[in-house]
Amino acid sequence: MTGRTDLARHPREHGCGSSLSRPTRRRLLAGVAGLAAGSCMLPGGGPSAATLLEIQPFAGPSTGPVGGPLDSAPSRPGTPLDGDVTGALSYLITDGERTLIDIALERDLGILSISALNPGIDVWVPGAERLVALPTARVLPEHERRGIIVNLAELRLYHFPEPDTVPNVHTIGIGRDGFTTPLGSTTVTRKQADPTWYPTEATRADRPELPAVVPAGPDNPLGRHAIYLGFPTYLIHGTNRPYGVGRRVSRGCIRMYPDVVARLFERVPVGLPVRIMDDPIKLGWAAGDLYLEVHPDLEQFDELEATYHFTKKPPPDVDARIVAKAGDARARLAWDVIEKELIARRGIPIRITRPEVASADRRHRSTIPSDFIGIY
């Protein structure tokens, strides 16, 4: 997925002469990658719509074959939840002009999450006609689904408009090495538009040039909206440097894209419960199948930042957790697929149960092909 296919280099050798339209050629390119069967142009009619192709979601919960097509469009935020997995994986083909950083900002995605799913692609210079998968499907955090849930490990914030409804999912920036965010339960204590920033003593010790008070304006790192939490000095806020969202660059606060936090600011009331957790491995059920989502650890995120790759590590020992989640379906677990994803850590939901099994002693003889990518 990190480069052009032979079809892109030699279209005539594959029966694709110059008479084919560009969208048709790109559909064929996507077909060669085995990721989609159809395509559509982005809405809007501007330069981006004319040059950037988005491919329809490929797979989702289904009673059909493993990895079969999505049966229906993703549910809208605020509608009742039906399972533990939301969204649908999506794809685009780069136009050679815009960066993946731009695309991440436009779509409220994290650039490190995009890199984990597309290792090796330069996010600043991705090149033209590269097929890129976007992490737009998620297993929901394994916690009570109400208010706000922040999962630091996946650099995402989930806002549930009502308990047990489809959430709005947003990308966040979190603390760099040495600056952690408190874990646990708290609430929204107040909200402030055009906030004033009061740097802490530790911040001013590191940056003596800072004044004691930074008023609202373009130099204020809190941006134009701040949502204060019960944890002193920690808050959810915008930023005057949006390219830092989706990364580990803050001093422990939770940053969001400016336009996104403005919408969240209007939606959340004072007193709303907030849960901050740090779980890189999530499990959830959808349409009778169990899905696994695994994110890179902190060291691997730092490697992605520097090189667009990360060093693979042995799979963590979470067998007992997976078996407990599978329950009566534990005999259907595809352990070869599970082990591969615990190493690959692509940050997307992967189906880890097979449709049927003859006996319960086939843990290492999955009916899912070993090279199958069971994406959601």
pLDDT digits (tens, 9 = 90+) for 243-266: 889 887 766 689 999 999 999 999
Distance (Å, rounded) from C-alpha 351 to C-alpha 292? 6
**Residue 135: closest CA among 107, 159, 97, 161:** 107
Count of beta carbons in the 10 Å neighbourhood of residue 322: 18
Worst-scoring range by mean pLDDT, 98-107, 120-129, 216-225, 278-287?
216-225
Worst-scoring range by mean pLDDT, 230-234, 276-280, 300-304?
230-234
The one catalytic residue in 10, 253, 309, 364 is 253
Residue 221: band (very low, low, confident or very high) from pLDDT cuts 50, 70, 90: confident
One-letter amino acid of 1: M
Distance (Å, rounded) from C-alpha 203 to C-alpha 233? 11
> For the structural domain made of 147-277, what CATH number should be given?
2.40.440.10
Task: Quickly list H helices, the chain.
Answer: 6-9, 22-33, 47-51, 100-106, 111-117, 201-206, 258-267, 298-307, 319-326, 335-344
Q: Residue 31: is it exposed, middle or buried by C-beta count within 10 angstroms (0-12/13-18/19+)? A: middle
- pLDDT higher than threshold 80 for residue 241: yes
Distance (Å, rounded) from C-alpha 161 to C-alpha 63? 29
The mean per-residue pLDDT over the stretch 81-108 comes to 93
- pLDDT higher than threshold 60 for residue 339: yes
The Cα angle at residue 84 between residues 72 and 370, in degrees rounded to 5: 80
Counting every residue written for the chain, the total comes to 376
> Would you give the DSSP letter of residue 202?
H
**Contact between residue 233 and residue 209 where contact means Cβ atoms under 8 Å apart:** no
Quote the pLDDT of residue 274. Answer: 97
The one catalytic residue in 16, 237, 295, 364 is 237
**DSSP 3-state assignment of 314?**
coil
- Catalytic site includes residue 143: no
Q: Are strands 168-171 and 156-160 parallel, antiparallel or unpaired?
A: antiparallel
Count of beta carbons in the 10 Å neighbourhood of residue 295: 23
Distance (Å, rounded) from C-alpha 201 to C-alpha 204? 5
- Catalytic site includes residue 225: no
Quote the pLDDT of residue 201. Answer: 72
- pLDDT higher than threshold 50 for residue 62: no
Q: What is the pLDDT of residues 172-207, one digit of tens each?
A: 998 765 567 889 999 999 999 999 888 777 777 777
The mean per-residue pLDDT over the stretch 331-335 comes to 96
Tracing tokens 């799979």 back to the chain, one arrives at 315
Percent of the chain whose predicted confidence (pLDDT) is above 90: 58
Higher pLDDT, 199 or 239: 239
- Which distant-in-sequence residues (6+ apart) come within 8 Å of 130 by Cβ? 2, 3, 4, 93, 94, 121
Where are the domains positioned within the chain? 6-138, 147-277, 281-351
Q: What is the pLDDT of residues 24-55, one digit of tens each?
A: 444 444 443 444 333 232 233 333 322 344 44
Count of beta carbons in the 10 Å neighbourhood of residue 288: 13
- pLDDT higher than threshold 60 for residue 69: no
Quote the pLDDT of residue 210. Answer: 74
Q: Average pLDDT, whole number, for the chain?
A: 79
**Prediction pTM value:** 0.79
